[in-house]
Structures are given as C-alpha cells and as structure tokens.
Amino acid sequence: MVFPEIHLFGDSDTAADAGGWLNAAAEPLDGPRIRSLSRLAAELGVWLIPGSVPELGDDGRVYNTAVVFDPRGDLVADYRKVFPWRPFEKWAAGSVFKVFDMPGIGRGGLSICYDAWFPESTRSVAWMGAEFVVNVVKTTGPDRKQERILAQANAISNQVFMLSVNAAGPVGAGGSIASDPEGTVVAGLPTDQPGLITVQIDLDDVTRVRQGGTEGLNRMWSQMARGDPRVDLPIYSGYIDPTTWQPKGPS
C-alpha cells in the first residue's frame, strides 16, 4: 500500500512556520512513529509505504524520508528526498538514491515528488535495478499537469513502471497516475477527489519491453556496444561507460 508524500502530516511542510513545525514533528528512524508504522504493516501483513515522514538525522537536520515496510514490519528501505521543493520546502537535501527488494517479486525504486522533475532520479534507480518506481507526491498546484507527462516520460526512457501517487484534495491536486514501461497509463485518478486505486502490474513486462523493445523497437538499455566511445557528460563530471550501461539484476 502506498500513500502520498508526507501523508500523515497535513499541509504543514510548506506553512509559514515550516521550520518550527518540521523540527517539532521530526523523529529519528528508530523513534516511536516508525515503530507504530512497523506494527501496522505487520498487523495487516502488507508491504507498506506510508508516504514519507520527517526524519531527524544524526546530523541534527530534518529530512523528508520515504520508508518501506515489509509484511513482517521490518523497515527495509528509507530514502531521503534529494530534491526538496525549493524555495518553498525547508527540508535538508538527501544525496543518495535508493532501491529495495521485494523477495520473489522484484525491485522497486524510491522517489519523492519534485525528484520526478530531475531525470537523474528515475534514471539512477532504474540503473540500480528498479523495475518499478514509487514516486510519492504532494503537489497542490497546476504543475500536476506537467508531472503526469514526466511520469510517462520517466517510464518510457527507463522502461520501468512509474507509480506517481499524489495527495488528494483539499490539500493536493490529485491526479495520481500509473504508467507501464512503454508510457501507457494503466491506472489513475483523474481529479483531485480522494480515492483508492488497486493496480495489478506484471514486472515481467519490464523484461519483455527491454528485450523486445518499446513498441517492439527500442531497446535503450542494450544500446551500448564494446568498443563504443565513452559519452562525456561534463554536467556530471562523468560519462556513460559502455561496459556498465546495464541495469543491475535483482540480488
């Protein structure tokens, strides 16, 4: 079960006193809030992403952190939003992208709201082996229109399922969307009305699309050949290395 970004915390993270509010609400990941959510996941026997939570880091800073619980209640992944929605949000920025394994099912990637506007985010978790990416969102404005396009595009260019789960009204603009690896919208909530979607996805579709190609044609993860030159990416002080241009397999 997936809930939107900062779902348990109303509309306070962009409030005028956001700094004070966040500090008051933040807990470390071994605090009572995480223990409660852990018990809830175990009690229900479900995989649970309760949106994201204000995390008090060891460094004293407050992060917007998505958490994943398995059906035993174990916290199997935590991801600090790398791209807080500045200048509106006061969260400290994370710097590490994260994936998580669902044994016997597949690998998921984590992404929070504005991360979806930076292609580096979905690209990184796809390369780390994510077959689906959960983007928990709290978008309140007209830019939800762009986000729906970005959700499809992030799915297409990485050949992953994208689940963009936005807060409903009156807080959020709604418009949640699930895209398959070819960019087809397979489920969604078109308006800002609250709702629950059940989406059944077959992660083998990721393998099928990557091997057979988008529309039977395009295999972007099979692009590189040995002997190809490195593609320089000065923007990242880095490059595409043809020998490592392949998503990692499940562990």
Residue pair 223/247 in contact (Cβ under 8 Å)? The answer is no
Quote the least distance from Cβ 125 to a copy of itself, whole Å.
10
User: Is there a cis peptide before residue 87, judged by omega within 30 degrees of 0?
Assistant: yes
Residue 114 interacts with a copy of itself (CB under 8 A): yes or no: yes
Distance CA 134, CA 164 (A): 6
Judged by CB under 8 A, which of 16, 229, 249, 251 binds a copy of itself? 229
Let me know if 238 is exposed, middle or buried by CB neighbors in 10 A (0-12, 13-18, 19+). exposed
- Cβ proximity to a copy of itself: between 103 and 234 the closer is 234
Stretch that binds a copy of itself, among 3-11, 29-37, 69-77, 138-146 (CB under 8 A): 138-146
Contact call for residue 185 and a copy of itself (CB under 8 A): no
In a 3-state reduction of DSSP, which class is residue 21? helix
> Are the C-beta atoms of residues 133 and 108 closer than 8 Å to each other?
yes
Region from 12-20, 33-41, 115-123, 192-200 binding a copy of itself, contact rule CB under 8 A:
115-123
Residue 241 near a copy of itself by CB under 8 A = yes
Alpha-carbon span 111 to 136, nearest angstrom: 7
How many whole angstroms separate alpha carbon 11 and alpha carbon 169? 11
H or E stretch at 173 = none
CB of 79 to a copy of itself, least distance (A): 13
Q: Are 102 and 133 in contact (CB under 8 A)?
A: no
Figure out which of the listed residues 152, 164, 166, 176 binds a copy of itself, where binding follows CB under 8 A: 152
Residue 198 CA to residue 128 CA, distance in Å, equals 26
Candidates 40, 153, 187, 197: give the one binding a copy of itself (CB under 8 A): 153
Binding of a copy of itself at residue 105 (CB under 8 A)? no
CB of 212 to a copy of itself, least distance (A): 13
Please report whether residue 145 would count as binding a copy of itself according to CB under 8 A: yes
Does 14 bind a copy of itself (CB under 8 A)? Our answer is: no
DSSP string, 79-102: EE-SS--TTT--PBP-----EEEE
Q: For a copy of itself, which stretch binds (CB under 8 A), given 12-20, 38-46, 186-194, 209-217?
A: 209-217
Q: Which residues bind a copy of itself (CB under 8 A)?
A: 82-83, 85-86, 93-97, 114, 117-120, 123-124, 127-128, 141-143, 145-146, 149-150, 152-154, 156-157, 182-183, 214-215, 217-220, 222-223, 225, 228-241, 244
